[in-house]
A and B are shown apart, each in its own frame.
Chain A
Amino acid sequence: MTERSKEWLQRWAFFLVLIAFLHRYFSCALLHQIQSSPILFPYVDLTYWLAHYLQIPQLIARCFWLASSIDIGIFISAFLSLIFINKNIFPILYTLLFSIYFICFNSYTGHHTHFMIGLLMIGIPFCFYKLQSIRFMWEGLRYFTIWIYASAFMWKIARGAWLNFDHANAVVQSNLVTSIYFQPESWYATLGRFFINHPNLLFALYVIAVGIEGLMILGFFTKKYDKLLFILPILLHTGTLFFIDVFFYELLILNLTFIKMKSI
């Protein structure tokens, strides 16, 4: 990684962060917009327990100005990370503030989601000052990205879900029931109904999806196929959008780690 490629990666990373955060703003999903949520869901995650014990989500839920400050802080720190490439204080600030946002959002919605993890992790390599450290952290983030899909693959293998014919159909039925009920004639519901009616086809697509997750393991051993590894998660998440009404588009920011340094 050269200074130039680091600059390029940092600019792209925080540009995408800003786009994602703007999308969250227009979708009313920032902390000041979810103000005073009565739901708090630490579940059995000890990090959430600590945050809730320190009353951080509770305080933010009660105090509009604090919630607004965190939202604005994330915007400003991401923007300054994009402009002032050599100051690692801004990525540090961004990562800290986004961690708070991440915990609060998941706690207020009553569900610990995974799709924002890309936005949470992407700033970490740039928190380091030395170029060589950033390089190692960026490479580590690449392995983390591969781990996401590799472990999802291994969970499905270990639990036998990949060989279960009914599984894919059950997941699709469960996730599309709302769309099919409320908008039965929409193209989305029509597509969903078609696949529910053709479980063999659905099972084949499910096995392909699990296979895509498994293919990501290649990345642990070689960087030769990084172009392919860049495309596979896009295919996978586009598939989940159509079949299970879930689109982890914010996670795709981690695909930046598959871009070859030499090509920048």
Chain B
Amino acid sequence: MEKPYFYRLYQYNTKLFFIIVGFSGMTLFFNLTGDQVMPFFVWAMFSEIESPKKNYKTYQLTINRKPYDYSARRLQPSIEIIRESLQHYDITTDLGEDPTRHFFQHKLPSYYDNLSPILNRITPSSEQIITYPSWLKRYLSYKLQHPINTLEVKTLELKYVDKARVKLIHSKPLLYD
């Protein structure tokens, strides 16, 4: 029978053994605290108990006055870019400030003043954030390989109705460029 991995590793190279043990220990530690610090990843997605919501949110993109359906291109990382960045922009505009900054201001207010200079350096300013609509327009134009004159994004509030059909409840403009 093969001896345990860590035993064999220790016999082979003590330095490598301590590196791997250190990595495993840190991974375990960050899993116990629930905070992720790359490369000590936490694989907790979809583990927090969810209940069906009353309403759901999504985004509707209209390019050159024509709807652009991004939902059918699920294997493209660019859809991740569009979807997640829109969500991030939406949260930022809702909060009125950068989400990381907001997190510290509200969850750890006693540290906020001390961390403020660092946060200013590592998070985008509000001047940067307002350039997002034109960046998204440029990115989509590059991706679709055609010029975009107008880009409109609406936030849609959706609801599941009979037989899992989805109905629009409310929409509001998120950005226009």
Contact = CB atoms under 8 A, between A and B. Distances in A.
Interface of A: 23-24, 27-29, 33-34, 36-49, 52-53, 55, 102-103, 108-114, 117, 120-121, 132-133, 136-137, 139-140, 143, 147-149, 151-152, 155-156, 158-161, 164, 166-167, 169-171, 173-174, 177-184, 186, 188, 192-193, 196-197, 241, 244-245, 247, 249
Nearest to A209: B46
A36 B131 CA distance: 10
Instruction: Categorize the interface residue count of chain B.
Output: 35 or more
A148 B43 contact: yes
B108 to A, nearest CB: 9
A230 B88 CA distance: 35
A17 B58 CA distance: 32
B18 interface: no
Contact of A161 (B39, B47, B84, B89): B47
B164 to A, nearest CB: 4
A49 B45 CA distance: 22
B9 A33 contact: no
A245 B84 CA distance: 14
A163 to B, nearest CB: 9
B62 to A, nearest CB: 12
Given A28-B143, A43-B100, A196-B160, A179 B48 contact: no
Contact of A241 (B74, B124, B160): B74
B156 A181 contact: yes
B52 A170 contact: yes
Contacts of A136: 5, 8-9, 12-13, 16, 20
A58 to B, nearest CB: 9
Main SS at interface, chain A: helix
B106 interface: no
A181 B81 contact: no
A108 B71 CA distance: 20
Contacts of B166: 177, 180-181, 184
Given A41-B99, A177-B58, A111 B122 contact: no
B164 A192 contact: yes
A169 B53 CA distance: 10
Contacts of A179: 71-72, 74
A120 B5 contact: no
A221 to B, nearest CB: 10
Contact of B56 (A113, A167, A173): A173
Contact of B165 (A149, A178, A180, A186): A180
A174 B163 contact: no
Given A47-B39, A196-B164, A174 B49 contact: no
Contact of A49 (B31, B71, B122, B142): B122
Q: Which 7 A-B pairs have the closest CB atoms?
A: A110-B88, A52-B122, A29-B77, A155-B47, A170-B50, A111-B84, A196-B164
B118 interface: yes
Interface string B55-97: 0101000000000010110111110110011011100000000
B146 interface: no
B123 interface: yes
B53 A174 contact: yes
A38 B128 contact: yes
B69 A182 contact: yes
